[in-house]
Structure 1
C-alpha cells in the first residue's frame, strides 16, 4: 500500500492544501462547543440577549468557515485520489504491454482486468478517506480530549473506562475482517473469469445446449462471492452497533455524573453541554478511524495485487538495439528449442531451416505438433529456450522488439478485429495507408467483393470482435491488414481455414504475385494450401519430421504422405 501511495508525491501541493483545510475544519468544530457553552452560561442563564446575538454570530461565522474548508478539502482530495488512480492504471497498462504471452498466461486476462479496474478503485476510495481523516481524526481525538479535560477533569474519568472497550472492539473486528477481504478479491476474479468465458463463448455454449450447466457454474461462482461478502459484512456490521452502544452509555454516564456535579456547584450547565459534545467528537473520531480500518484491509489486499503485476518482470526484456535490415526478407531458425513454463516436454526441439526473399515456406503437421508455437517465437511473443532466430539476418534478441515486428505482417490463427470501421481495421497495419492502398490490399485478400456490398463500404462499422462478420470475412480482413503493411516477412498462422477452396486458391495465387519482395511463412492444415510452396516443413511432436517440396515429401516422408492421403485421393496425389 505504501509503495503505491508514493505516487501521490506529484500531488504534494494538493495534499498540503487538503491537510491545511482539514485542520481549519477540525479546529472550527472543536471551537463551536466552547462558544455554545459561553452562550448558555453567560447569555441564556443571565438573560443577556445582545450577548446571545453576538456569540451566535461568531458561531455562524465559525460554522461557515468550517463548511467552506470541508467542501474545498473534499474537492482537492477527490482530485488527488482520482489522479492517483489514473496514474496507476496508466503505469499498470504500460507495464503489462511489456509482458510476453507467458506472463499473460500466468496471471490470466480476467484477473488483469479486475486488478486494473476494481482493485485500483478500492485504492482510490481509501485515499480519499485517508486524506480527509488522517488529519481530522487525530485532531478531533486529541483536541476533544484536551477540551473535555479543560471543562472538567474529574468527569473525564468516564472516558477512561469506555474508550478501551471501543478501541478493543475495533481492533478485534479488524483482525477478523482482514483475511476475508483477500478472499473477496479472489472470488471476484473467479466470477469475472466465468462471466467472461460465458459471454465470449456464447455461440459454443448454445450450440452444445450447455446453458443450464453454465448457469450452474456462474451461480456457484456468484454464490461463493456472495457468501464471503456476507461474512465480511457480518463482521463489519458489529462495528456500528458496538460503537453506538458504547457512545450512548458514555453520554448517559456523563449526564448522570455531570448532573451530580452541577448540583454540587462544581460545574455549569453550559460546560456539561460542551463536555457532551466533546465526548461525541472523540467517539466520532474513533468511528472515523474505524471506517479507515474497514477500508484499509481491502485496499491493502488490492494494493498487493496491483504491486504483484507491477513487480512482475517480463520473462525477457527488450534490450536489442540493432536494426533488422541486413538481408531483406530472410528468416532463419538455427537449432531452436522451446519449452512452455512447467511443461514436462519441450514444445519444439532443434528446429533449423532458412527461408529467403520471394520464397514460400509452409509448415504442416498434426494438432499439437508445434506449428503455432513456432510462428509465435518469430515476433517474440515467447522467448526461445535455446538456439537463434534471425529476421533479415539479425538475431531477434539483438534487435528491438518494435524493429523486428515492424518487418512482419502477422495474421493470427484466430482473427481479431477491433471496434470501428473496416478502414480503421485495415489501417491498423499501416496508420497512414491511403484509400488506394487499402483497396489494393482488400483486392488481394479477396475482401473487395463483400466490402463493396456493405452499405457504407470501407466506412462500414465492425462490432466488437467482428461479431457482424463471418469467419471467412474476418480472416480476409486480417490478411488485408497484414498486406497493407508491405512487410519483409508474412506469417499466416492457419489463416485460410475458414475460406472455401475456390477463394483459398484465388487468394494464394494473388499472394504469390504480391509478395515477390518478401518471404512468406504459411501454417496450414490443408495440403491443398501448401502444395505449391517452395519448401514444406513437416512437424511431428515438436520436431522436424521432413522438409522439401510436395513431390519430394510424397516420395520420402511417411508422415506427410499420411496427411496427404487423409485429404486427397490417390489420383489427386498422382
Structure 2
C-alpha cells in the first residue's frame, strides 16, 4: 500500500466529500437492515393469526404497517445509495482528473532523453489505463469497502444475538466464498493483464500497418501481412478464451455457496424450531435475507483485494515516472529578456542514449541580428547546435552564453519563447492548417496567418485545397507533401516573430526556385533577428553573414561565403559540386 500513499494528498483535498459519502453509505446500509427484522415480524403476525392469538383485522393492521415500513426503508435506502455514488464515485473522478493532469504536467517538464528511453505507448498507458486502475481504488474500492464493513459490523452481531448456533452454521460458507473469489480474481487479473498486453501488441501491429500502408502496397505484402495478422488474432483469441474459462466460474460459484448457506439456514433452523430452540419461522426468513445481504459483500472482499493490488501496481508505475527528475531545470523564476547574441565556448556534447559525441570543443560567436549558415556532412553535429541553443539538452562540457549570460542562468520559458524552431522532420498536428500555423502565435489574426504563409511560399498551395486554411490534416500532417509540411512549419515560426530563428535543414524537400523565394522572404522577415540555418546546400549559405562548416563534431571552417569560397577546403568543393549540378 506504500505506493498508494501518493493519493493521500487528494483524499485530503476532497475530505469533506469523502466524510459525507462515508456517512451516507452507513445510513444507506443501516436502512437496509430494516427489511429482515420486519419480514420476521410479518411472519410472526401470520403465525399469531394462524394460532388465533390475534384477530384478522389486527393482523391486517400490523402487516400493512410493516409493509409500509419495509417499502419506505427500501426507498430511503435507494435514495441514499444514489447519493453515496454521487459523492464517493464523483470524488474518484476528481482524483482521476487531478492525477492525469499531474502526470501530464510532469511529462511536459521531462527532457528529450526521457522520451528517447521510453515508448510512446507506455507513456500513454500510464496516463490512461494505470490512472483508471488507481481510480477504481479511490472510488469503487473505497465505497464497497465501507459498505462491506458497515454490513459486517451491523449484521453479524444481530445474527448472533438472534440465534447464535444458526448464525455460526450460516456464516461457515462465507469465508470459503471469499477465499475462492479472491483466488479466482487473482487468476482473472493475471489473465486479463495478458489479454490487455496482447491487445496492445495487436494495436501496435495494426497501427504500423496503417501508417506504412504505402510501403506494404508498393512491395505487394498484403498476403504476408494478412497471414501475420491471422497468427496474432488466433493467439489473441486463445488468450481471451483462457480468461473466459476462468470468468465462467465466478457467478456459478457465488450462486452455489449462496445456495449452500440458504440450505444450512433452512436445515439447521428447521431442526432448531423442531427442538424448540427457535420459536418462530420468521427467524429463518430473517436469516435467509441476512445471508443474501452478506454474500455479495463477502465476495467483494476478494474483488477489493484484487482492485487494491492492481491499483498499487499501477500507482507504482505512475510513481516511477513522477519521480523522474527533468535534466533541464528552470532555476531562474524571473523572466529573462533575450536579444539574440549567442556564444559557444569550448562546447562538447555526448548523447546519453547512444554515447555518441556529437560536438567536440566547439567555439564561435554569433552577434544578435546576424544570419549564420551551418554546413557539414550527415552526423557532423549541425542539428545538435540548434538543440543546445534551445536548451533541449545541456552541454557535456564547455559553456553556452546567450547575451553574455550563461544559458543555465536564463529562464527556460523565456529562452524558448524567444526561439522559433523549424525541425528537419516537420511535425504537424491533426488539426486545420490555420491552427497548425497558429501554434506559433495562438492569438494571431487571419491576415497575420496568411502573410506568414505567403512568406513561407505555401499560401498558393493552401488556397488550392477545397477548404483552404480550414483543411484538417491527417496524422502527422500526412495530407501534405514533404515540402508543404516544411513550409507550413516555416510559416509557424515566422508568425511567432521570435528573437532567434533556428532552421534545421527545413528546405530539403523544396525545389531550388522555391528555396530561393523562401530565403529572400526569410531575409526580409528575419531582419535584425539572429538566424541560424542548417543546410546541405550552399545556396542557403550564400547570403549569410557567417558560415560554419562542421566535420565529425569539430568546427572545420568559419567565415563568410566569399572568404570560404576563396580558400581550398570542404566549402569550396561543395560549392563547386552543387554549382556544376545546377548547370547540368
Structure 1 length as normaliser, TM-score? 0.90
How many angstroms does 1:66 deviate by? 0.6
Cross-structure match for 2:420:
409
1:495 paired with 2:506, answer: yes
1:284 paired with 2:296, answer: yes
How many angstroms does 1:512 deviate by? 2.1
1:315 paired with 2:318, answer: no
How many angstroms does 1:561 deviate by? 5.6
1:120 paired with 2:123, answer: no
Structure 2: state its 5+ residue gaps: 51-58
The 3-state SS of whatever aligns with 1:97 is: helix
Q: C-alpha distance in 1, partners of 2:247/2:576? A: 69
Q: C-alpha distance in 2, partners of 1:125/1:4? A: 12
Deviation digits for residues 123-180 of structure 1, max 9, x if unmatched? 2234331232121111212322112212211122314643442343244345556666
Say if 1:123 and 1:299, in contact at 8 Å, map to a contact too. yes
- Superposed CA RMSD in Å reads 3.0
1:27 paired with 2:33, answer: no
How many angstroms does 1:205 deviate by? 4.5
Say if 2:437 and 2:492, in contact at 8 Å, map to a contact too. yes
Deviation digits for residues 375-405 of structure 1, max 9, x if unmatched? 1122122222222222333222111111111
Q: C-alpha distance in 1, partners of 2:223/2:360? A: 43
Cross-structure match for 2:88:
77
Cross-structure match for 2:12:
9
Q: 1:429 to 1:19 in 2, by over 3 A?
A: same
Q: Which moved more, 1:140-149 or 1:489-498?
A: 140-149
Where do residues 238-387 of structure 1 align in structure 2 (5 Å cutoff)? 238-267=249-278, 268-321=280-333, 324-325=336-337, 328-387=339-398
Q: Which moved more, 1:182-191 or 1:484-493?
A: 182-191
Q: 1:342 to 1:357 in 2, by over 3 A?
A: closer
Deviation digits for residues 519-574 of structure 1, max 9, x if unmatched? 2111112333334433332333333333334455466565546655664539969x
Say if 2:170 and 2:264, in contact at 8 Å, map to a contact too. no
Where do residues 226-241 of structure 1 align in structure 2 (5 Å cutoff)? 234-235=245-246, 237-241=248-252
Q: C-alpha distance in 1, partners of 2:248/2:368? A: 71
Q: Which moved more, 1:538-547 or 1:132-141?
A: 538-547
Say if 2:177 and 2:299, in contact at 8 Å, map to a contact too. no
Cross-structure match for 1:426:
437
Q: Which moved more, 1:365-374 or 1:395-404?
A: 365-374
Q: 1:462 to 1:106 in 2, by over 3 A?
A: same
Say if 2:328 and 2:392, in contact at 8 Å, map to a contact too. no
Q: C-alpha distance in 1, partners of 2:110/2:231? A: 32
1:446 paired with 2:451, answer: no
Structure 1: state its 5+ residue gaps: none
**When the two structures are aligned, how many residues end up with a matched partner?**
572
Cross-structure match for 2:106:
95
The 3-state SS of whatever aligns with 1:137 is: helix
Q: 1:549 to 1:214 in 2, by over 3 A?
A: farther
Q: C-alpha distance in 2, partners of 1:517/1:236? A: 70
Say if 2:137 and 2:311, in contact at 8 Å, map to a contact too. yes
Say if 2:182 and 2:303, in contact at 8 Å, map to a contact too. no
1:509 paired with 2:512, answer: no
Q: Which moved more, 1:328-337 or 1:553-562?
A: 553-562
Select the residue among 464, 477, 482 that pairs with 1:466.
Answer: 477
Cross-structure match for 1:534:
545
Deviation digits for residues 211-243 of structure 1, max 9, x if unmatched? 556566666676776666655565555444433
Select the residue among 47, 71, 74 that pairs with 1:63.
Answer: 74
Q: 1:440 to 1:64 in 2, by over 3 A?
A: closer
Select the residue among 478, 481, 486 that pairs with 1:475.
Answer: 486
Q: Which moved more, 1:477-486 or 1:492-501?
A: 477-486
The 3-state SS of whatever aligns with 2:110 is: coil
Say if 1:43 and 1:51, in contact at 8 Å, map to a contact too. no
Q: Which moved more, 1:74-83 or 1:436-445?
A: 436-445
Q: Which moved more, 1:490-499 or 1:91-100?
A: 91-100
Say if 1:537 and 1:548, in contact at 8 Å, map to a contact too. yes
Say if 1:149 and 1:156, in contact at 8 Å, map to a contact too. yes
The 3-state SS of whatever aligns with 2:332 is: coil
Q: C-alpha distance in 1, partners of 2:227/2:561? A: 50
Q: C-alpha distance in 2, partners of 1:192/1:324? A: 45
Q: C-alpha distance in 1, partners of 2:504/2:532? A: 8
The 3-state SS of whatever aligns with 2:448 is: helix
Say if 1:411 and 1:495, in contact at 8 Å, map to a contact too. yes
The 3-state SS of whatever aligns with 1:289 is: helix
Q: C-alpha distance in 2, partners of 1:402/1:241? A: 60
Q: 1:2 to 1:216 in 2, by over 3 A?
A: farther
Deviation digits for residues 301-331 of structure 1, max 9, x if unmatched? 22222222222211221112465547x3212
Say if 2:178 and 2:300, in contact at 8 Å, map to a contact too. no
Q: C-alpha distance in 2, partners of 1:306/1:225? A: 27
Cross-structure match for 2:44:
41
Q: 1:197 to 1:404 in 2, by over 3 A?
A: farther
The 3-state SS of whatever aligns with 1:383 is: coil
Q: 1:374 to 1:234 in 2, by over 3 A?
A: farther
Q: Which moved more, 1:301-310 or 1:472-481?
A: 301-310
Q: C-alpha distance in 2, partners of 1:451/1:232? A: 52
How many angstroms does 1:491 deviate by? 0.5
